[in-house]
Structure 1
Amino acid sequence: MTTISRRGLIAAGLAAPGIAPALAQTNRYPDRPVELVVGFTAGGATDLDARAVAMLLERRIGGSVVVVNRPGAGGEVALASVARSRPDGHMLGTTNMPGLLTIPIERRAQFKLEDFAGVANVVTDPNAITVHEDSPYRSIQDILTAAKAQPDRLTFASTGIGTDDHLMLVLMQQQTGTSFTHVVFQGDPQLITAILGKQVDVLGLNLGPVTAQPDKLRTVAMAGATRSRFRPEVPTLKELGIDVVMGSERGVVAPAATPPAVLAKLREAMADVVKDPEFVRVLQTRFTEPSFEDGEAWFTRLRGLQEGYQTLWQRTPWAQR
C-alpha cells in the first residue's frame, strides 16, 4: 500500500492543471506600480477617495499604487483607458455611479459595463443642492419658484451630462415642471470656485464636498434616502415632496479579462481597505460614509439597474436637458 504524505498531497494539488499558473500570477502580482485612474481633476471627492484607497491598498497587495488623473467627458476618458488597458491588474479605474451606466446609454461611448470586472464599491455620497450664502434663494421652494417664473434663466452647475448631480436635476425638473440652464465643469474644485464667484446660481454637488467647504455656502436640500448624520439640518428632497433619491456611488474596477486570481486578491484587499479604521477616519474628515459592496455582488446589482436608466433615457433624454 502506498502512503501519500500531506506534503505530497499539497504538491500534487499544486501540480493540477490551472492551479499552479493561477497561484504564480497571484504571487508575482504586482510586479510594477499599479495605476488607479481617476476621471476627474485632482482635489475632488473621487480623487480624494482614490488617494485614500491607494495608500491602504498598496500595503495589502505589496506594491505601489499611483493615482493618475485623466479628466474629461464626465469620466469617459479615464474609463475608456482602463477598458483598453492590458488586463493584468496593473491598471484599475475609479467609477462614479450612475455615470458608469448612463454614459454608454446617452452616447456611443468608448466603454460599456461589460468591459470591466468589479473590484468593489467603496463610498456612497448623496447629492446636494447648494447656493451662495448671499443668494436670494433660501430654500428649495425659492429656487423652484424662480425657475418656474423664468424658465432657463437660473443656471445649475454639475460635473457633467449623465452624472449623478445632473440626473438629480433632470428628475427634479421632470417632477416640478421647471427648467434650468445646465452648466458643466470638470471637477469639484471648479464647481466650488464657480458658486463662490457667483458665476452660477445653483450648485449640484455631493454633500461631502459642500460640507467640507462651509464658508459662503448654503445647502438647501439633499437627495439621500434619509438625512445625513453630518448635516442633520439639511432636509431631503423626499421630505420636501420631490421624490428624488440620488448619490454618487464610487468604486474600483479592473478590465474584464483580468485573471481570476489577481481579481480575487484585489477584492480581498479592498474589503480590508474599506474596514480599515484609518480609511473610515479619512472619509469622516470629508463628511462621507464608507459603503462596501463586493465586486461580484456590486456588478450583479448594476446589471439590474441598466434597464431602469435605459427607460429613463427613453422618457427623458437627459443629454437634451
Structure 2
Amino acid sequence: MRKTTQLKTTRLGVLVAGMLTTLALSGPAVAESVESYPSQNVQYIIPFGPGGESDISARMQQQYFEEITSQQLIIQYMPGGGGAVGWSQLNGMDADGYTIMGTNLPHIILKPMGKDPGFKTQDLKNFFFFHYSPDALIVRNDSPYKTLEDFIAAAKEAPGSITVSGSGTQSANDIANRRLESLADIKTTYIPFKGTGASVTALLGGQVAAEWGYTTVAANHHDKVRMLAVASEKRHPLFPDVPTFQELGYDMTGGAYRGMAVPKDTPEDVTMKLSNIFSQINANPEFRQKMKELGFVLIDVPYPEVEEFMAKQQAAYEKVARDMGIID
C-alpha cells in the first residue's frame, strides 16, 4: 500500500514538474519570439505585376528593412484582378508574420462593393499605410495631345476612339478616367492592365494613346512621357509646369494609397512590430528623399490608426461607388 502511494506521489510530482517546466518554457519562448522577430526573411507579396508603384516602393524599402532587422524582404508577385487574386488568398497563408502583402486604396474598398472578388475589405488586416501618389493623365512625348484641352477636344470629336490604359477596373485609375469623362462630357476606351508596369509598357509601346497613371510614372519616365494634368490640390514640386485638373476647371483630386496587410490571424504583437519597422523606414530622411524624387507623397498611418483611417476612406469611396454605379 505504501509503495503504491509512493508511486502515485512520484508520478504526480513528475506530472506537475513537467507542467511547470512547460509553462516556464512557453512564457519566455513566446516573449523571446516576439522580441527577436523577425528571425528569418519576410516574404513580401505584391498583388500586381513588376514595375508598378507597389513594386518600386517595396524595392526601396528592402534596404532599410535589412538595416533595421538584419533580415531580407523577399519580393514576389501575384498579379490578377487588379489585386483581387492576391487579396483573396491572403488569409489562407501562414499567419506567423513572415508573409505580408501590399494593399491599395481605393481598390480594396471598391472591388468588394461590386461583384464578389473573393475577399471583403474588413477581412484584410492592414497594419500600415505609407504613401500616396496623385492621379495623372499621361501621354508620350510624341503625342499630338500637348494639353488636356487637346485631349478632351479629340475625345469629343470621336467618342470612344481614344484608348487609355490603367491598372485594373475599380482602381484609382478607373475612377479617375470615369470622373474626367463625366466632368468633361467625353467618352474614351479604358483598357485595364494587371498593374502600372504593364499599363506604362502599353503606353510606351504605342498600344494606347494615353495612360491614367501617377506622378511616379512621369518621374520614372520623364524622358519619354509628359503629364497633361495632375489630380492634386497643388502642383507637384517635381513638375511645377504641370497644371492641376482644378486649375483647368475640372474638380478632380485623388490617387492611390498604398499599404500592407498580414493574414488576419497574425498575432497582434507581431503585427504591431511590423508596423513599427515600416514606420522607422518611412521616418528615415534618406528614404524619404529618395521617395520624393520618385514622385511619391509619403504618409504615416501606423497600425493603431488604421481602423479610423479606413473608416474615413470607406465613407468617401461609398459615394464614389454610387457615382460609378457600382452600388445603388
TM-score computed with the length of structure 1 as normaliser: 0.87
Equivalent of 2:282 in 267, 274, 281: 274
- 1:172 pairs with 173, 180, 185, which one? 180
1:37 corresponds to which of 45, 51, 58: 45
The unaligned stretches of length 5 or more in structure 2 are 1-22
Q: Cα offset for 1:110? A: 1.7
Give the deviation of 1:276 after TM superposition. Answer: 1.1
Quote how far apart the aligned CAs of 1:257 are.
Answer: 2.4
Identify the match of residue 259 of structure 2 among 248, 251, 263: 251
Matched, 1:27 2:35: yes
**In the aligned structure 2, how far is the partner of 1:154 from the partner of 1:302?**
35
* Corresponding position: 1:191 with 2:199: yes
Match of 1:138 among 143, 146, 171: 146
Shift of 1:301: 1.7
Amino acid at match of 1:314: R
Q: Deviations over 1:159-180 (max 9, x none)?
A: 1101111111111112222111
Deviation track 1:113-137 (CA, whole Å, cap 9, x = no partner) reads 2222222111111111111222221
How much does 1:284 deviate?
Answer: 3.2
Q: Which residue in the other structure is 2:56 paired with?
A: 48
- The answer to whether the Cα contact below 8 Å between 2:235 and 2:243 also exists between their aligned partners in 1 is yes
CA distance in 2 between partners of 1:134 and 1:64 (Å): 41
Q: TM-score normalised to the size of structure 2?
A: 0.85
Provide the rounded CA distance (Å) in 2 between the counterparts of 1:286 and 1:232: 15
Letter in 2 for 1:36: Y
**Mean CA deviation greater in 286-295 or 68-77:** 286-295
**2: distance between equivalents of 1:32 and 1:318?**
42
- Tell me the matched-pair count: 304
RMSD: 2.3
Alignment check: 8 A CA contact 1:123 1:291 kept: yes
The unaligned stretches of length 5 or more in structure 1 are: 1-14
Percentage of pairs with the same residue: 25
- 1:133 counterpart letter in structure 2: N
Amino acid at match of 1:44: G
1:305 aligns to 2:303 (yes or no): no
Q: Secondary structure at the match of 1:232?
A: coil
Select 1:83's aligned residue among 82, 91, 98.
91
